[in-house]
Structure 1
Amino acid sequence: MKVLIAGAGRLGTQIAQVLSAARNDVTLVERDEDRLAELDGMAQVRLLAGDASEPGLLARAGTRTADVLIAATGRDEDNLVIGLLAKRRFGVARVAARVNDAENAWLFDLRWGVDVAVPAATPLVSLIEEATGATDTVALLRLSKAGVAVIETAITAESRAAGRPLGEIDLPAGTVVATVVRDGRPTVPGPEVELRPGDEVLLVSHEATEQEIHAAFQ
């Protein structure tokens, strides 16, 4: 699957990493060149500098042959313009757009070329599932068919787990930490890894509920 992602913030970067790891053809567009420099060397992802709300940039990014476009910038107006261009001018079959401000949610529909409107608070795995229309895009998503849940929790300054190593977290039975995403990059979840505000923890469990996971970390 050929995927174009507009916006290399934390969300766009995480989506790019997951989809590229699943062997999709991923292009990540970002107008902040300093941000792109931070991501230089990102494995299996094509990085492109420019404003995705400009038709010329979208053309250079290969939008005309993309299967999916995900507008994940932090500005709703940009996401709407990108979605409209992708659908109307380039004929992208599936367009997903992030809704940053809930009051703008009513705009995100087919009138603006948006097939899937994704609220900002949507968990990463659910977002990818909704955006791509494929529940088996990544191996983690297929776990649900075997009765295994993938649960994501974000660490904030107020979280009880902030500043503590993973080895000290009392996890519910049948639960393991799959990865800790920090600054848009997944890290190996060893017991010595100290959790920091801004980290996103991805866990796999066949017993625990989201509430139990929340209680352990928050």
Structure 2
Amino acid sequence: MNILIVGANEITAELAKKLAQKGHSVILVGRDASICEEVAATSDVLVVTGDYTDLDFLERQGIEFKRMDVVVIATGSDEVNLMLSVIAKNLGADRVITLVNNEKIERILMRLGIECLGFSKTIAALLEARVEGRRTVTELLEAMGSDYRLVALQIEEDDTSVGKRLSELPLPSMSRILAVFDGEKLVLPDQDITIKPGSVIIALVHKDHVKQFRETFK
């Protein structure tokens, strides 16, 4: 596959090198000269150092979104990620995957058909799996070395979490709520969601923190 990664950091550097090792044609565009130099020196990744928000600059480097099978947007700014994701989609990129922290921006991007992942300690493995089209839970867990577990937790009427918002719960740092089933539909894990009896919390949790995660809701 032809893969363009925008934003140079530890996560994208690791991703670019792994994908190149697997035979993909990878371009990494970033502003961090030291990371770009390290990737260029230790892999077959085509590295471009410069301002990725300057479309004229990208064009001069021969980078065309429409020629890419996958474009990964992972700069340090949610606003820049939003802008570049929309541009990449409009300029013909087949798939766009964006890393975001802001849930409102994540919802906007998802409505536009852009795949999103939040930053976390497991993001490199998740992102690698997503880029290569490995979408099942089993495959994602394998990508992370089986250190994570898929947890589905049903909320009971007498649970201490009932009536609280997700943002009020001290969730383990190595956990990510994927969705909440409210009894009628599956919804995105908005931090303002109020926990209700009968709801089912679906999450990806490190194996060492599963008990703590469950106890947080009970």
TM-score for both structures, normalised by structure 2: 0.58
Change (3 A) 1:37 1:142: closer
Please point out which of 135, 140, 145 is paired with 1:150. 145
TM-score for both structures, normalised by structure 1: 0.58
Q: Is the 8 A contact 1:74 1:100 kept in 2?
A: no
Give 1:135-214 correspondences, 5 Å limit. 144=142, 150-151=145-146, 210-212=206-208
Encode CA deviations 1:80-101: one digit per residue, 9 max, x unaligned: 1111111102x01100000033
How far 1:79 moved relative to its partner?
A: 0.9
Alpha-carbon distance between aligned partners in 1 of 2:39 and 2:144, rounded to the nearest angstrom: 30
Give the corresponding residue for 1:42: 42
Q: Given the alignment of the two structures, is residue 26 of structure 1 paired with residue 22 of structure 2, yes or no?
A: no
Alpha-carbon distance between aligned partners in 1 of 2:16 and 2:210, rounded to the nearest angstrom: 26
Give the corresponding residue for 1:184: none
Give the corresponding residue for 1:98: 99
Unaligned runs of 5+ in 2: 149-204, 212-218
Change (3 A) 1:39 1:68: same
Encode CA deviations 1:88-131: one digit per residue, 9 max, x unaligned: 02x011000000334532232243xx521111125322222223
Alpha-carbon distance between aligned partners in 2 of 1:149 and 1:93, rounded to the nearest angstrom: 26
Alpha-carbon distance between aligned partners in 1 of 2:49 and 2:147, rounded to the nearest angstrom: 30
Q: Is the 8 A contact 2:17 2:45 kept in 1?
A: yes
Please point out which of 49, 52, 77 is paired with 1:75. 77
Change (3 A) 1:127 1:25: same
> Identity over the aligned pairs, expressed in percent?
25
Alpha-carbon distance between aligned partners in 1 of 2:51 and 2:111, rounded to the nearest angstrom: 22
Structure whose CA Rg is larger: 2
Change (3 A) 1:75 1:149: closer
Q: Is the 8 A contact 1:123 1:152 kept in 2?
A: no
Q: Specify the SS of the correspondent of 1:74.
A: coil
How far 1:78 moved relative to its partner?
A: 1.1
Q: Is the 8 A contact 2:147 2:207 kept in 1?
A: no
Change (3 A) 1:214 1:109: closer
How far 1:73 moved relative to its partner?
A: 0.9
Q: Is the 8 A contact 1:116 1:130 kept in 2?
A: no
How far 1:74 moved relative to its partner?
A: 1.1
Q: Is the 8 A contact 2:74 2:81 kept in 1?
A: yes
Unaligned runs of 5+ in 1: 154-208
Higher relative contact order (CA 8 A, sep 6+): 1
Q: Is the 8 A contact 2:17 2:39 kept in 1?
A: no
Alpha-carbon distance between aligned partners in 1 of 2:4 and 2:78, rounded to the nearest angstrom: 17
Q: Is the 8 A contact 1:79 1:97 kept in 2?
A: yes
- The AA in structure 1 aligned to 2:107 is W
